[in-house]
Structures are given as structure tokens and as C-alpha cells.
Amino acid sequence: MDSHTVVVNESVAKARRLESEVKALQERLMKEQSMKQTSEQGAADRRRMAELHESEKRLQQEVDELKQERDRRVQDLHRQLDRERETQRTRLQEQESKVKEAEKARSQNMFEYEKERARWQLERDGLLCKAQELED
């Protein structure tokens, strides 16, 4: 009976010891799984971070290209505007010279008209004087 009690006590002690080992192993397994998940999550986070970094680089490159394209367009528009201004300036100068020529021609015509008018007036006066002399 004593030996049986000893065997039962040993079995109970062994069962308790094995239960505590199982608990310890389960805790260790959970820690390892947690660490594995953490490391997998960390690797996934690092991959995601790398993807985001590459995406950021690509977007920055697109922004730089768009800025360069905008600057080229602005320069092209400035050149086009300068050419149009020069063309308009040339047209304006041509129109101003035509206006001056027209004014000069008008003045010349007015002078000729007045000269002819004065000549006609003198001729008329001369004719009137001759007509009066003939009447007298």
C-alpha cells in the first residue's frame, strides 16, 4: 500500500511537472510564433516601405518631368509672344509710316489745291480787270 501511495504520489508529481513543462513549452511556442509573426510583419512592413519609397521616387520624377515640361512651354510661349510683339511692332511702324505718307500727300494736295485756287483767283481778278477795262 505504501509503495502504491508512493507510486501514485510520484505519478501525480510527474503529471504536475509534465503539465508545467507543457505550459512552458506552449508559452515558448506562442512567443516564437509571435516573434515569427512580428518578424514576418516587419518584413512585410519593410517590403511595403520599400514599395512606398519606390513609388515616391517615381512620383517625384514625374513631378520633375512635369515641371520641366511646364518650363519649356512657358519659354516657348515667351518666345512666341516676343515674335508676335515684334511682328506687331513692325506692322505698327509700317502703318505709322503709311499714315505719315498719307498726311504728307494730303498736305501736298492741299498746298497744290490752295496754289491752284490762288492762281484761279488771280486769273479771275485779272480777267475781271480786263473786262472792266474793256467796258471802260
Q: Which has the minimum average pLDDT: 37-46, 91-100, 103-112, 120-129?
A: 37-46
Instruction: Report the C-alpha gap between 39 and 49 in whole angstroms.
Output: 15
Q: Give the tens place of pLDDT for each residue, 11-29.
A: 999 999 999 999 999 999 9
Q: Determine the pLDDT at residue 1.
A: 78
Residue 46 confidence (pLDDT) above 90 = no
Helices (H), the chain: 2-135
pTM exceeds 0.75 for this model: no
CA dist., res. 119 & res. 18, Å (int): 147
Place of cell 501736298: 108
Q: Give first-to-last CA distance, the chain, whole Å.
A: 194
What is the arithmetic mean of pLDDT over 26-48?
Answer: 85
What's the angle, vertex CA 25, arms to CA 24 and CA 27, rounded to 5?
65
Q: Is the pLDDT of residue 3 over 80?
A: yes
pLDDT digits over 82-119, tens only?
A: 999 999 999 999 999 999 999 999 999 999 999 999 99
Catalogue the long-range contacts made by 45-52 (C-beta closer than 8 Å, 24 or more residues apart): none
pLDDT at 136 exceeding the cut of 80? no
Residue with cell 477795262: 133
Instruction: Copy the grid coordinates of residue 17.
Output: 511537472
Instruction: Output the pLDDT for position 24.
Output: 94
Instruction: For the chain, give every domain's residue range.
Output: 1-99
Place of cell 519593410: 46
